[in-house]
Structure 1
Amino acid sequence: LLYSCARPVGPDPRILALLGDRLADAATEMPRLRAVPAAAPHEEEQEPTGPRETAVVLVGDGSIDAAANADVHRVSRLFWETHAYDYMTVETAFVSLTPPGVPGGLERCRRLGARRVIVVPYLLFAGGLLERVWAQALAYAAGHPDLDIRCAEVIGDCEVLADVVLDRYEA
């Protein structure tokens, strides 16, 4: 059996743009995470939260390989500088195996003064890891009802991802 491995997707500009799309969708279309039913409409009224009051937590899968974790930090920084520069900050967190976890990333954003935090999974597809990201974010939201927490979708199956994978294969 012969096989070959392509380079990791990493901070490809096209992937960063997809993450930017997922962030924009979450900021405008995704509902706030709630551990309890939504409040009555008159209790919901607040000033709109803009990007300067919104932080982002980019969540990687986590690894025992320090270089892989460093790559996620690199993606996070490049994402902030290229597609999330209007936001308060972009923090890095991991689903498992290495700190900080999703709650740690959310807590850092809260302490920095964010009124809203958007969790952006740096995951190609939905599945068990995404469910863990959502579960950790929901558990944190239950203890911090004053913080507007939203979760973006994964990168997902799309033409751009197929092009990136094909480019890696051909390289």
Structure 2
Amino acid sequence: MDAVLYICHGSRVKKGCDQAIEFIERSKVKVDVPIQEVCFLELANPTIEQGFKKCVEQGATRIAIVPVLLLTAGHAKVDIPEEIHKVYQHYPHVKVAYGTPFGVDDQIVDILLERIKETEVPIQKDAMVLLVGRGSSDPEVKNDFREIAKRLAYKGGFQHVDTCYLAATTPKLLDGLKQASESGYSQVFVLPYLLFTGILMNEIRTELKRWNKADQEFILANYLGYHNALSNILQDRVNSLLNSKGNEYDVYRYS
């Protein structure tokens, strides 16, 4: 019997975890699979082990595992596979297929443009965007993030879209804000590339208060969030796993 295990990041802020669960519940109706469970990589329950076990207890013999993450970094490449490997050893009869995060997708660029429009601030001709990511030391993340920024500039008609990060790599948030402040653009839309509210969003909000000037406005847009369009991407990720090699999954090979 088929099952889907959605792995969300997890947060110390309860509201962030609640948002993830609510998103998965909305997304489940688009996926025609009898067993669907949600779990968290860290900081919240149920854990990956608990989620996997719950699928098996309901009769799952094949599990499509989908990381509900924005970009492919260490969590998707290392942390989640390691956790799955620990659990998988106890259920060798279960076939497993491992999916990919949301990645670079034009539907996400559309969400970003929507978040800017939601500020209800008229966009000036010389407006720029500062796209703020969580951050990772993985170079693939920076490449993907730059590609998203490039698509956002093209689709939104912005003269410039810059990127910065909250942790693990450079340029940091302060560097990005300083560079934007010195850029000469009259408007800077600060756009958090985050799935859920929490400590990082509060950090951006607090820092931004001191950057407005008489001739330059910094506008904080809402974070990306669990938008309905992400459900469509998630559905594609699940169906890709379900349809791999016809009706047969590849058994995920852990190193």
Fold similarity call, TM over 0.5: yes
Superposition deviation, residue 56 in structure 1: 0.6
Give the distance between the partners of 1:22 and 1:121, measured in 2 at CA. 10
Within a 5 Å distance, the mapping from 1:59-98 to structure 2 comes to 59-82=132-155, 84-85=156-157, 87-98=158-169
User: What is the Cα deviation at residue 155 of structure 1?
Assistant: 1.9
Partner of 2:172: 101
> Contact 2:134–2:193 at 8 Å: present in 1 too?
yes
1:132 positional shift: 2.0
Q: Does 1:13 align with 2:106?
A: yes
* Corresponding residue for residue 53 of structure 1: 126
Note the 1:91-130 alignment, pairs <5 A. 91-130=162-201
- Scaled by the length of structure 1, the TM-score of the pair is 0.76
Q: Which has the larger radius of gyration?
A: 2
* Structure with more contact order per residue of length (Cα contacts < 8 Å, sep ≥ 6): 1
Equivalent position of 1:156 in the other structure? 225
Matched AA of 2:154: E
Report which of the two has the higher share of strand. 2
1:62 maps to amino acid: G
Structure 1 stretches of 4+ with a deviation exceeding 6 A read none
Structure 1 residues 5, 158: closer, same or farther in 2, change over 3 A? same
Identity over aligned pairs, percent: 24
More helix by share: 1
Structure 2: which amino acid aligns with 1:53? D
Please name the residue that 1:145 is paired with.
213
Residue in structure 2 matched with residue 40 of structure 1 by the alignment: none
- Where does structure 1 lack aligned partners over 5 or more consecutive residues? 30-48
> Cα RMSD (Å) of the superposition?
2.0
Aligned length: 146
Instruction: Provide structure 2 residue ranges, at least 5 long, that are not aligned to the other structure.
Output: 1-86, 89-95, 241-255
Distance 1:133 1:169 in 2: 33
